[in-house]
Amino acid sequence: MNRVMIVARLARGRNADAERLIANGPPFDPQAVGLHSHSVFLTATEVIFLFEAPEVEWIVDDLVNDPVISAAFSAWQPLLDGPPRLAHERHAWQRPSLDAASGAGV
């Protein structure tokens, strides 16, 4: 499973506007586009979109290049201070499942 994040700095005073956009949900069906999970994190100064799926970079690329979906992203433009940045996962740790740890299913 691969993960990628899009990180964007919020313009000053736009946090509440970001909250409202996030509450509307994504402008696409995460399952229909092939994502296994999608999360949005909000700090006082940034919004972070996390996408997870096999070959997730291709899925995100397709979303950004889709004219209908990318038009919906334009609602974020006035809220941002500069262009969004792509962050690639470089380290992750995950607890083994109980089945794998116990040897069940072997």
3-state SS of 46-75 is EEEEEEEECCHHHHHHHHHHCHHHHHHHHH
Quote the pLDDT of residue 103. 62
The pTM for the full model equals: 0.87
Locate the domains of the chain by residue range.
2-102
Instruction: Report the alpha-carbon distance of residue 97 to residue 8 in Å, rounded.
Output: 33
- The correct answer on CATH 2.60.40.420 for the domain covering 2-102 is no
Averaged pLDDT, groups of 10, the chain, 106 residues long? 96 97 96 97 97 96 92 93 94 84 57
Quote the pLDDT of residue 98. 81
Q: Are strands 85-88 and 2-9 parallel, antiparallel or unpaired?
A: antiparallel
In the chain, the amino acid numbered 17 is D
